[in-house]
Amino acid sequence: MASERVKFYDLVVEPGRTFYSANTWKTRLSLLHKNVPFDVIEVTPMMLQSDEFRQRTGSARPLVPMVEFARDDMVFNSFVIADRLERDYADSSSLYIPEQDTSDCHPAAYASARAAARVFERGLGDSDPGWSTFFELIYTDLARAYKHLPVDYEYVTSDRKLGFANAHAKLSALNMNELIERARMSLLPFEALLTDNLPNGGKASFITSPTKAGFTDYVLFGRYMMVATLNADKAELVFSAHPAVSDWVERMLDLYDGHAKHILDTRK
Ligand SMILES: N[C@@H](CCC(=O)N[C@@H](CS)C(=O)NCC(=O)O)C(=O)O
């Protein structure tokens, strides 16, 4: 399929600032993986809450990532977008089995790989199931980033946004040393995967496949970018605790002409 430019909606504290959303990083990297040219539309939480956005998206609570493939063809949710990219750009490396083009993947192997990616993104890649502590780890940094914008601050620290009672007080009272330790431990499976010997004797460079990054890498790297953009010291403390994971972060930063590294270097 011809690669038409699409519009990719990404979250910022204010226009011109950095891209900190773990979920939108999945989509940004999925678009780059599939070689789909895109224009970034920077949106703030208040823009997303506006009547204009609610009407345009037909959703009472619009969330990013969103990709506008064409007028009146807006797709939400990072996994739904990934599936759409797999369908529309089947003649390029699969997000779930990156060593093959999507159209060449065996259906049974494809279903297994897609299911593994889905479980992982709803597990470690999501705050709700409690598999990891990445959101809790940066919550106070996120709140601080909005402090000078009273209306946005009120929203991002509200129970409505955070999803449970007294959320701001509870999240702010968590013990940071314990959070850092738990976040480190949540990376142990990846350190093992990247250190184990493969059947051919080599080592895996990426998580989704030994030689090429894919959707599962983008899920974990989204968590890394969320932490690194909001508090670089915490990212260092957590991700550098494991040598193989630390090397993987460097490889991820270098992907697609150093796309993520460039954003870390140029946007704050
Ligand atoms: N499961 C969804 C999660 C989407 C989501 O939670 N997006 C957040 C950013 S990480 C958002 O739009 N937040 C703005 C808001 O809550 O108003 C996905 O993967 O796309």
When the candidates are 1.10.3470, 2.60.40, 1.10.10, 1.20.1050, the CATH number that belongs to 6-263 is: 1.20.1050
* Separation between Cα atoms, residue 146 and residue 153, nearest integer Å: 5
* Separation between Cα atoms, residue 171 and residue 189, nearest integer Å: 26
| Predicted pLDDT of residue 39 | 98
Cβ(45) to ligand 1 under 6 A? Answer: yes
pLDDT class of 56 with cuts at 50, 70, 90: confident
pLDDT in tens, 144-179: 999 999 999 999 999 999 999 999 999 999 999 999
Ligand 1 center to 108 CA (angstroms): 31
Ligand 1 center to 203 CA (angstroms): 34
Residue 2 has pLDDT above 70, yes or no: no
Residue nearest to atom 6 of ligand 1 (CA): 63
Q: What percent of the chain has pLDDT over 90?
A: 91
The 3-class secondary structure across the chain, one letter per residue, is CCCCCEEEEEECCCCCCCCCCHHHHHHHHHHHHCCCCEEEEEECHHHHHCHHHHHHHCCCCCCCCEEEEECCEEEECHHHHHHHHHHHCCCCECCCCCCCEHHHCCHHHHHHHHHHHHHHHHCCCCCCCCCCCHHHHHHHHHHHHCCCCHHHHHHHCCHHHHCCCCHHHHHHCCCHHHHHHHHHHHCHHHHHHHHCCCCCCCCCCCCCCCCCCCHHHHHHHHHHHHHHHHCHHHHHHHHCCCHHHHHHHHHHHHHHHHHHHHHHHHCC
With contact defined as beta carbons under 8 Å apart, do 85 and 42 qualify? Answer: no
Per DSSP, what are the bridge partners of residue 41?
Answer: 9
Poorest-pLDDT segment among 52-56, 112-116, 208-212? 52-56
Cβ(228) to ligand 1 under 6 A? Answer: no
Ligand 1 center to 207 CA (angstroms): 24
Ligand 1 center to 145 CA (angstroms): 17
> What are the extents of the domains in the chain?
6-263
Residue 254 is encoded by which pair of tokens? 């270098």
Residue 1 has pLDDT above 60, yes or no: no
Question: How many CB atoms lie under 10 A from the CB of residue 129?
Answer: 10
Q: Mutate which of 13, 20, 23 to test ligand 1's pocket (most atoms within 8 Å of Cβ)?
A: 23
pLDDT in tens, 66-86: 999 998 899 999 999 999 999
Q: Mutate which of 24, 64, 77, 142 to test ligand 1's pocket (most atoms within 8 Å of Cβ)?
A: 64
β-pairing verdict for 66-70 and 38-43 = unpaired
pLDDT class of 57 with cuts at 50, 70, 90: confident
Total-model pTM: 0.97
Cβ(62) to ligand 1 under 6 A? Answer: no
Ligand 1 center to 10 CA (angstroms): 10
Ligand 1 center to 53 CA (angstroms): 14
